[in-house]
């Protein structure tokens, strides 16, 4: 499946004015650059899908100028004594160019409401009681999405690392993950076929100066809990 993808929407505003006997022209350009999976644009990135070797599900992918960005989304219920569920996504950036790429955290929203990434704690000796009391923290070892291998744990965008930039050298790939806590009272919908997140999830990463955006229905998320 291959679709066109919109990018680099450019709005040009011309203001013409006459000052005395001289004709003057003021030129102003506003550029917004983003690739959104599934949107059409002849000069933009290309949307496609690849098969997830782990689950067999399809993974959306954006390709542009030697850069491939693919991402899968998952969820699991919060542990005992915790509210809501965890929404997570892992993004892989493949660099087929001759230059290094900079990858930064973009953002995520659920039904139009921006959410902040959680702090993922990896210290085995941390105070568990204190960690559970923090709504913005989660232990990596207690999330099955990490321990099962669905989420990559080598690189994580969390509350304290969201401003950092990761580098992808030419001919290499990088995978980075992020997690949010969904505390909506209606965050999951369940039926005899199973449960899935409700609403629409929009998230993106920034590669160099361009945003790679994925807009996905909650139903497309993979359950990676126990």
Q: Where are the domains of the chain?
A: 47-223
pLDDT value at 18 more than 80: no
What are phi and psi for residue 140, nearest 5 degrees? Answer: -60, -40
Of these ranges, 23-32, 103-112, 146-155, the one predicted with the greatest mean pLDDT is 103-112
d(CA 118, CA 172): 27
Average pLDDT score over residue span 126-147: 71
pLDDT value, residue 8: 44
Residue with tokens 């304290």: 160
pLDDT confidence band for 190 (50 / 70 / 90) = confident
**Could you tell me the CA-to-CA distances from 96 to 22, 28, 55, 109 in Å, in that order?**
51, 34, 26, 30
47-223 has which fold? Immunoglobulin-like (2.60.40)
Average pLDDT score over residue span 112-135: 69
pTM greater than 0.95? no
CB 76 within 8 A of CB 82: no
Q: State pLDDT tens for residues 138-185.
A: 888 888 998 988 888 889 998 878 889 999 999 999 999 999 998 888
pLDDT value, residue 3: 53
pLDDT confidence band for 127 (50 / 70 / 90) = low
Q: Which residue has the higher pLDDT, 106 or 152?
A: 106
pLDDT value, residue 14: 35
């Amino acid at each position: 499946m291959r679709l066109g993808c919109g990018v680099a929407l450019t709005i040009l505003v011309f203001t013409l004015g006459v000052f005395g006997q001289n004709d003057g022209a003021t030129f102003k350009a506003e550029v917004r650059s983003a690739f959104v999976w599934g949107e059409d644009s002849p000069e933009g990135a290309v949307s496609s899908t690849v098969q997830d070797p782990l689950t067999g599900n399809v993974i959306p992918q954006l390709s542009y100028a030697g850069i491939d960005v693919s991402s899968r989304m998952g969820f699991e219920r919060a542990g005992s004594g915790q509210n809501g569920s965890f929404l997570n996504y892992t993004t892989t950036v493949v660099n087929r160019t001759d230059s290094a790429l900079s990858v930064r955290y973009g953002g995520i929203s659920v039904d139009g409401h921006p959410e902040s990434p959680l702090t993922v704690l990896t210290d085995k000796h941390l105070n568990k009681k204190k960690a559970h009391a923090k709504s913005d923290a989660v232990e990596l070892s207690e999330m099955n999405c990490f321990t099962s291998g669905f989420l990559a744990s080598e690189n994580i965008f969390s509350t304290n690392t969201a401003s950092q930039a990761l580098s992808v050298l030419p001919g290499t790939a990088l995978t980075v993950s992020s997690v949010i806590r969904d505390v909506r009272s209606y965050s999951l919908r369940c039926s005899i076929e199973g449960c899935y997140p409700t609403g629409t999830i929009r998230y993106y990463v920034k590669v160099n100066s361009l945003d790679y955006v994925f807009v996905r229905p909650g139903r497309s998320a993979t359950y990676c809990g126990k």
